Amino acid sequence: MAHFKVKRGYNIPLAGEPERVLVKGTRPKQAAVQPADIRNFRPQVEVGPGAAVKVGSVLFVDKKHPEIRFLSPVAGTVNEVVRGERRRIMRVVVDAASGDDYEEFPKYSDDEIKRLNWEKVQSALLQGGLWPTIRQRPYSNIAALEATPKAIFISGMETAPLAADPNFYMQGLKADFQSGIYALQHLTEGKIHLSVAPDQQDSFDGVDGVEQHTFAGPHPAGNVSVQVYHIDRLRAGEIIWYISPFDVARIGQLLKNGHYPNETIVAVAGPELEKRQYVKTISGASMVSILPEKLDDDEQRVLSGTVLAGTNASLEGFIGFYDHTVTVIPEVQKRRLLGWLSPGFNLASYGGTFFSSLIRNKKFVQNTDINGDERAFVSTGNYEKVMPMDILPVHLAKAVLVEDIELMEKLGILEVAPEDFALCTYICPSKIEFGEIIEHGLTLIEKEG
């Protein structure tokens, strides 16, 4: 057990935190699983429109490794396979029937789980559709089947703005979480590291088989990269795995109940929502089932995930495969007159160039406005202040822009993920898309290597 204090970082003062209330959501009429949520993934769809599926029936598999399966979260009929640009498969949508009909998987008691081995746990997770919940670094892809991770990291805390708090939605799931940990122990010869916030950890206290750490400090203290960097830094050639605490509990549920665990909890957050709360629903549920009906898509942006690391979803969309937060923020509506001249009592900013910086602890309604045009890099020195790792953000980004793979690796690109640069992008006066640049760099290395 170790305590870490992350000093560099920033909590974006965004209004609209979810209240700590858990309600049961209405049963979604549709649910979907989205290959687009998974990095560097090509699906092979196994069902067509009209096919009858149970909870846990295969919808699609990994083209390269067909053992990696994605299962239906509801029982019902496949509605459509949605394709995007260049016929890329975006999602498989299933119409939910009234009842739940489950595919059956093997069941184990806790003692039996403890006596399983690598092969048995892996095949149970592959068959039960939860293998993809384990991802690896570098690259954030689904855990490679033959890989041996030096450790598994679980972040039991979230520091991104408006993000669902794992300590809250993990309440009452300690037994399942514990069973999941027993299963994960077979998958690594190293340790399982669980990081929690210092004041929000009762859902995780006393769990057996993990090394528990606390991380204090602003975002991105809750990011896996930051925790790995502080606990057991990634060296060249090494890999680690990471998984969300909720998915650890789902592994426990799968192994104990023999059913694909299709329930999830998401926080619905956003500055202009009337009801901001945690909703218990089905994983991959349609957004309409958890958001207010009168929401106007033109005025509000619906995101699956947080404002930092989420993806565009829209009201017709679905909850993403890895997401526990649904964020709704106002869409930018108009061009403002002389925006650069305004005193800015209501304008959020990291630095001190607006009068809003005189008001402490104020939260702001922020919309999707980029608030400026893209310009050349200006080394303000602020990027380093929001990067709690020994990484030089500007130099790394420039190495990617000139596609110098050797230099990127030397500057530590394999230790990071695009989400770690979200704050750099947020505070950038030149409006540089750091996340996009880092993603490009990682993709380049994967292709060349």
Partner 1 sequence: MSMEQFFTRLEERVSKSPVKWFAPLIEATHSFLLTPGRATRRGPFVRDNIDLKRYMFVVVVALLPVIAMSIYNIGRQAGITEFWPAIWKGLMVMVPVIVVSYAVGGFWESIFAKIRGHEINEGLLVTGILFPLTLPPTIPLWQVAIGISFGIIIGKEVFGGTGMNLLNPALTARAFLFFTYPGNISGDRVWAAVDGFSTATPLATAAATDGNAIEALRAGSMDYSWLNMFNGHIPGSMGETSTLAILIGAAILLITGIGSWRIMLATLLGGLGMASIIYFLAGSSATGMMSLPPTYHLVMGGFMFGTVFMTTDPVSAAGTNTGKWLYGILIGVMVILIRTFNPAYPEGMMLAILFGNVFSPLIDHFVVQANIKRRLRHV
Site for partner 1 in 233-262 (CB under 8 A): 233, 235-236
Binding of partner 1 by 287 (CB under 8 A): no
Q: Which is nearer to partner 1, 67 or 390 (CB)?
A: 390
Which residues, 25 to 84, sit near partner 1 by CB under 8 A? none
Q: Tell me the closest approach of the beta carbon of residue 164 to partner 1, in angstroms.
A: 16
Q: Which of 99, 206, 381, 449 binds partner 1 (CB under 8 A)?
A: 381
* Residues sharing a CB contact under 8 Å with residue 388, sequence separation 6 or more, in sequence order: 6, 7, 8, 9, 217, 220, 221, 226, 229
Q: Which of 66, 145, 351, 359 binds partner 1 (CB under 8 A)?
A: 351
Q: Is the separation of the CB atoms in 92 and 45 below 8 Å?
A: yes
Span of 98-106, 136-144, 241-249, 390-398 interacting with partner 1 by CB under 8 A: 390-398
Q: Is the peptide bond before 418 cis (omega within 30 degrees of 0)?
A: no
Which residues, 133 to 192, sit near partner 1 by CB under 8 A? 161
CB atoms within 10 A of CB 335: 7
Q: Which of 49, 339, 362, 446 binds partner 1 (CB under 8 A)?
A: 339
The DSSP symbol for 87 reads G
Binding of partner 1 by 350 (CB under 8 A): yes
Binding of partner 1 by 336 (CB under 8 A): yes
Binding of partner 1 by 397 (CB under 8 A): no
Q: Which is nearer to partner 1, 280 or 395 (CB)?
A: 395
Binding of partner 1 by 343 (CB under 8 A): no
Q: Tell me the closest approach of the beta carbon of residue 15 to partner 1, in angstroms.
A: 11
Q: Is the separation of the CB atoms in 319 and 310 below 8 Å?
A: no
CB atoms within 10 A of CB 292: 13
Which residues, 355 to 374, sit near partner 1 by CB under 8 A? 366-373
CA 257 distance to own-chain centroid: 26
> Helices 434-448 and 393-401: crossing angle, nearest 10°?
50
| Burial class, 338, CB count within 10 angstroms (exposed 0-12 / middle 13-18 / buried 19+) | exposed
Q: Which of 163, 329, 400, 445 binds partner 1 (CB under 8 A)?
A: 329
